[in-house]
Amino acid sequence: MSDKPEKLITDDGLRLDGRHADEIRPMKIEIGVLSRADGSCYLEWGRNKVLVGVFGPREAHPRRSQRADTAVIRYKYNMASFSVEDRARPGPSRRSIEISKVSREAFEPVIMAELFPKTAIDIFVEVLQADAGTRTAAINASSIALADAGIPMKGLVTSCAFGKVDGQIVLDLNKEEDNHGEADFPVAMTQDGEITLLQMDGNLTPDEIRKGFELAKKGCKEILEIQQAVLRKKFETPVEEPEAGV
Ligand code: ADP
């Protein structure tokens, strides 16, 4: 781990990557990048790079995993061994199992699984490059990949973390801020603002949490706009102008 810089927020209020406290990192999304998946998404968020493939609804195997009244949703978060500075140990870890569980739960309220009994909807996440906030990046990408797969959902899920750095509440921590900051709170929410994921690492006062939530809502709103623009671009059919005189 690198040594803590003297300040993570400069005297003019800017963070070391030049952002204000309430700014998210730049995000770039590509949709439909995997031809074998039913839906897919590649997302870059700051220095994070994640790839998501969605498969299904398809017959659930093994058969004992099937549920007569609903689809089972499976979410697998995996970090490539080359995605972090020191090699990440391949295979499941306590961390990846936890992230997979909470991320699946972040989608359960919106996916209309009851329409597809006995099937499975698989969401596979590969983190190719990690720089803090990979679970939130993966949730944002999964939302797009699910929509790309045509899975009926009540709305998109959007995710962003807030935290505390040099005593200040900030949005979307990068790796340096995550390493040396005082708190990190990943949040996911539906389009209606219903919270579907909330985790906390570190301590904040109730006032700081309230302030952080306001930032997270702002961040999620901005991300939702990016997600919607990407989906609109792919799925909106252009309306043909009638020919003049017809
Ligand atoms: P998130 O990526 O969702 O913020 P964490 O807070 O657990 O999840 O991790 C923060 C960052 O720490 C990751 O994005 C990654 O850059 C780094 N990290 C996580 N796991 C490992 C690991 N096994 N080896 C090296 N770095 C890791």
Number of H helices, E strands in the chain: 4, 10
Is the CB of 127 within 6 Å of ligand 1?
no
Instruction: State the chain's mean pLDDT as an integer.
Output: 96
| All structural domains of the chain with their residue ranges | 27-234
Q: At 210, phi and psi to the nearest 5?
A: -60, -45
Kindly give the distance from the C-alpha atom of residue 171 to the centroid of ligand 1, in angstroms, as a whole number.
17
**Spatial separation of the C-alpha atoms in residues 131 and 118, rounded to whole Å:** 38
Is the CB of 175 within 6 Å of ligand 1?
yes
Over residues 24-42, the pLDDT tens digits come to 999 999 999 999 999 999 9
Any bridge partners for residue 188, and if so which? Answer: 159, 197
Kindly give the distance from the C-alpha atom of residue 130 to the centroid of ligand 1, in angstroms, as a whole number.
7
pLDDT band per the 50, 70, 90 thresholds, residue 246: low
DSSP secondary structure letter of residue 114: G
Over residues 159-173, the pLDDT tens digits come to 999 999 999 999 999
Proportion of the chain above pLDDT 90, given as a percent: 93
Kindly give the distance from the C-alpha atom of residue 97 to the centroid of ligand 1, in angstroms, as a whole number.
13
Over residues 40-83, the pLDDT tens digits come to 999 999 999 999 999 999 999 999 999 999 999 999 999 999 99
Q: Which CATH class is domain 27-234?
A: alpha beta
Closest Cα partner for 180 from 62, 5, 22?
Answer: 5
ipTM over 0.85: yes
